[in-house]
Amino acid sequence: MSEMVTLTIDGVEVKAPAGSTVLEAAKLAGIRIPTLCYLKGINEIGACRICVVDVGARSLQAACVYPVSEGLKVVTNSPKVREARKVTLELILSNHERTCLTCVRSGNCELQQLANELNVGEIRFDGERTDLPVDDLSPSVVRDPNKCVLCRRCISVCNNVQSVAAIGTADRGFKTVIASPFNMALKDTPCVNCGQCINVCPVGALREKSSIEKVWDALANPDLHVVVQTAPAVRVAIGEEFGLPIGTRCTGKMVAALKRLGFDKVFDTDTGADLTIMEEGNELIQRIKNGGKLPMITSCSPGWIKFCEHNYPDLLDNLSTCKSPQNMFGALLKSYYAEKMGIDPSKIFVVSVMPCTAKKFEIQRPELASTGYPDVDVSITTRELARMIKEAGIDFVNLPDEEFDDPMGEASGAGVIFGATGGVMEAALRTVVDKLTGRDNDNIEYKEVRGEEGIKVAEVTLPDGMTIRAAVAHGLGNARKLLDQVRNGEAQYHFIEIMACPGGCVNGGGQPIQPARVRNTIDIRTERAKGLYSEDEAMTIRKSHKNPRIQKIYEEFLGEPGSHKAHELLHTHYYARENYPEECSRI
């Protein structure tokens, strides 16, 4: 056990682990100290000074970084402390673009919440306002420096968690801004569009680039057959936008809401995930048997793919050639589905609902148009879908559960768990082990690859003595560590799964934003993943190759995994990217 120290907070004796902070000790005593820049495990720098407390020193101290000590006496609620917090908050607000009514974060803004909690009824300071250009050139992320409060959470997650370093501070004092190197537009940097910066931003300084109006326009166009596909992680997160507990499974209500929005067909991207496993599993088997490039690395995460193109071009041949489930499914909708339903593929408009902002970048890749049309026309986030449901006046919580549409609405439990870190690996192993052993194996839960450990390793020994070595990394900082080991010959694997976002798609950059007061106490990644694993457990079919819809698609259209037609429609290629092009746009 950790050594404990005894201190007093607001007259209450508290025992806290040595090395912990006053903020953490106060939480143990049931005392809430307000914060703004602090985010557990991401940003602990004491920059904003909202959390100041009186520890008997000459000046007030930031509770988020001040260490506890034996006999320390802390006051969190005094006229001096309350006034210091209010002054700090008012100074931040004096230079803030206070367009709250039209801000995408209205009602879910930590600055707004602080103003309410600290009883700020007026702003006593008339600060000089910054008027900086908004960077909206990226297909995924919009950066509005006029709403920035300089908390530096975005910098911490981009640099320390994702190891991308696409943004940082520039200038000093009042002129300090969060910017890209050389004030480039984000699109011209190594930004991978993961959107983790959006998820940690306490205000509206970072947001996804909205495609809502494009979807409304398509739905209103009588000449278009508009279909929608939903990623697995969306179903366990969208309920949060309507007040439901984190991780609530809302599959049926989500389908019902989409049908009421007017989509002609509502499909499940999990079917595309099953298809991915068929192709990716076959590719892995062929590489193992025929001496192909190993380790094979998954290609489902567009943020990871762009990261690889920028930072590990020497490993591009290790990437699976499979498209992501989103684009595989889109390609099938504009070929197999179009043919089966007798619809001109030029009239099929595919919308994807993704937990991911990088999908907005992915759908624009010119190589993802194997039918002659983009695989996917518009990709929206979980948050955007929630806004559409609210705009349409749909009572989401009280909707009846409805089913995905035929003929492509059935998926396996393996497809469902794609949304959690380790899910792609587990789904692949369920199929690959069956194919390699030639029998239906009962042990299908590979729990070694589950959980929130940054890098997970598993070994699966087959009856013939062959051992498949697998590794899983989530979050690009962890991916960098793992790939450096592979590159240097320190570790050898057959198969590696990498997801750009920490926790996988359940924590994607397009998921509902939970404020720091929630993220500091609950691991939202684990709670959402629980929902996916419970849905997998409840399903009759839990292996991709057992999905009768997938079997039928191969029988009627594709032939077999790895066939010429499958490669034509479902596989792609990637290429090395410069980190900072010589000719780049300024904002």
pLDDT tens per residue across span 400-450:
999 999 888 789 999 999 999 999 999 999 999 999 999 999 888 999 999
Query: Which pLDDT value is given to residue 586?
Result: 54
pLDDT in tens, 360-376: 999 999 999 999 999 99
- Nearest residue to 376 (alpha-carbon basis) of 113, 56, 190, 139: 139
Query: Crossing angle for the helix pair 382-391 and 212-219, nearest 10 degrees?
Result: 50
Predicted local distance difference test score (pLDDT) of residue 370: 94
Dihedral (CA of 86, 91, 94, 99) sign: negative
Residue 270's identity, in one-letter code, is D
Q: For 157-175, what is each residue's pLDDT tens digit?
A: 999 999 999 999 999 888 8
Tell whether the model's pLDDT for residue 36 goes beyond 80: yes
Say yes or no to pLDDT of 243 above 90.
Answer: yes
300 is catalytic: yes
Residue 32 predicted with pLDDT over 80:
yes
> What pLDDT does 281 receive?
96
Q: What is the pLDDT of residue 355?
A: 98
Q: Which of 124-138, 265-279, 348-362, 491-505 has the lowest mean pLDDT?
A: 124-138
Helix (H, G, I), strand (E, B) or coil at 21: strand
Cis peptide before 295 (omega within 30 of 0): yes
Structural domains in the chain?
A: 4-77 (3.10.20.740), 91-209 (3.30.70.20), 212-570 (3.40.50.1780)
Confidence band for 583, pLDDT divided at 50, 70 and 90? low
Based on the residue annotation, tell me whether 320 is a catalytic residue of this protein: yes
- Burial class of residue 210, CB neighbours in 10 A (0-12, 13-18, 19+): middle
Q: Single out the catalytic residue among 320, 324, 352, 379.
A: 320
Please give the pLDDT value at position 300: 96
How much is the average pLDDT of 202-228? 98
The whole-number pLDDT of residue 443 equals: 83
| pLDDT (average), residues 38-55 | 96
> Cα separations (Å) of 87 from 125, 140, 542?
9, 36, 57
What would the mean pLDDT of 133-152 be, rounded to a whole number?
96
Closest CA to 576 of 364, 302, 316, 324: 316
pLDDT at 1 over 60: no
pLDDT on residue 308: 98
Mean pLDDT (the chain) is: 95
Q: What angle, 0 to 180 degrees and rounded to 10, lies between the N-to-C axes of helices 382-391 and 251-261?
A: 60
Q: Is the per-residue pLDDT at 259 higher than 90?
A: yes
Nearest to 285 by CA among 423, 427, 436: 436
What is the model's pLDDT at position 581?
65
Q: Which of 187, 253, 306, 359 is catalytic?
A: 359
Size of the chain, expressed as the number of residues it contains: 587
Q: Which of 110, 279, 280, 535 is catalytic?
A: 280
CA atoms within 13 A of residue 82's CA, in its CB half-sphere: 7
Residue 462: the pLDDT is: 86
Q: Please pick, among 97, 241, 309, 362, the residue that the annotation labels catalytic.
A: 362
Q: pLDDT by residue (tens digit) across 511-521?
A: 999 999 999 99
Report the alpha-carbon distance of residue 13 to residue 35 in Å, rounded.
22
Q: Under DSSP, is residue 358 helix (H, G, I), strand (E, B) or coil? A: helix
> Can 197 be counted among the known catalytic residues?
no
**Residue-level pLDDT at 580:** 76
Determine which helix (DSSP H) or strand (DSSP E) holds 377, and give its type and residue range: none
Q: Write down the pLDDT at residue 587.
A: 54
Catalytic residue among 367, 537, 556, 568: 367
Distance between start and end Cα atoms, the chain: 53
Q: Is 280 a catalytic residue?
A: yes
Confidence of residue 472 (pLDDT cuts 50, 70, 90): very high
Out of 48, 194, 250, 505, the active site residue is 505
Backbone angles phi, psi at 260, to 5 degrees: -75, -20
Cβ contacts of 559 within 8 Å, gap of 6 or more: 565, 566
Backbone angles phi and psi of 226, in degrees to 5:
-100, 115
CA dist 62 and 47 (Å) reads 8
